Each structure stands twice: as structure tokens, then as C-alpha cells.
Amino acid sequence: MGWWPVTCLLLCRDALERVDWSDEAFFFYNEDIDLSWRLQKAGCKLACATRIHVRHHEGSVLLARKHHPRAVGMVRLGVRIEVAWRSAQVRRRLTSGRQPSPREQALLSVAADVMS
């Protein structure tokens, strides 16, 4: 699994109730831009957090479940291996007394949930 330049949109339910969730005229591209414009017109404030990294592991599992149901176990295993490997790297660096970055702290905080 690698890193791809994708976005993650976090919204409050209250904000979505102010505008229609999606315009069906936008099927795949620019629906996020259209939604952003409509949210701004409705008085919502938008922010872009460019230093935050999001991993869409659950999306991989859902995609496997839909198209390759017998592979779901292997996908989950791959996710667990990646999280275990990355968290072990962070823990190794922490033993040298280095403070974890916010990204590393987030990884360690969810690693137990992913591993269960």
C-alpha cells in the first residue's frame, strides 16, 4: 500500500443539513469544489489542513468486499501488517528519547484498534 494524493473531507452533520449533500450533475470530479462553494454560501467556514495525513484502510476493505469477497481476509491482514510495521518503527525511534510527531502519535493511538 502506498501514498496517493487524495483528500479527506470532514464535515459536521449540521453543515450538510444546510445544503444538499451532493449535486448529481457532478458524478466524479469537482463535487468537492461544488460542495465547498455551497457550504460557503450557507455561511460555513472552511479550512484546509495540508499537514494532516489520512489513511483510507477501511475503503480498501470495502472495495475488496465488493469485488473480491474471498480476499477480504488478506486485505485486512495486509492492513494489520502495515500498521504493525509502521508503529514498530515509531516505537523504535521513541526509545532513543525522541518526541513523537503528531502523525506518529495518531498512528500509535489507533494501532491497537486496527490490530484487534
What pLDDT score was predicted for residue 56? 66
Residue 1: pLDDT band with limits 50, 70, 90: very low
Identify whether the C-beta of residue 48 lies closer than 8 Å to the C-beta of residue 66: no
**Mean pLDDT (the chain, rounded):** 80
pTM over 0.85: no
Residue 40 has what pLDDT? 92
Tell me which of 76-80, 82-86, 105-109 is least confident.
Answer: 105-109
Q: Which three cell numbers stand for residue 73?
A: 481476509
43-to-31, 50, 52, 67, 72 alpha-carbon distances in Å: 18, 22, 25, 40, 42
Look at residue 91 and tell me whether its pLDDT is greater than 70.
yes
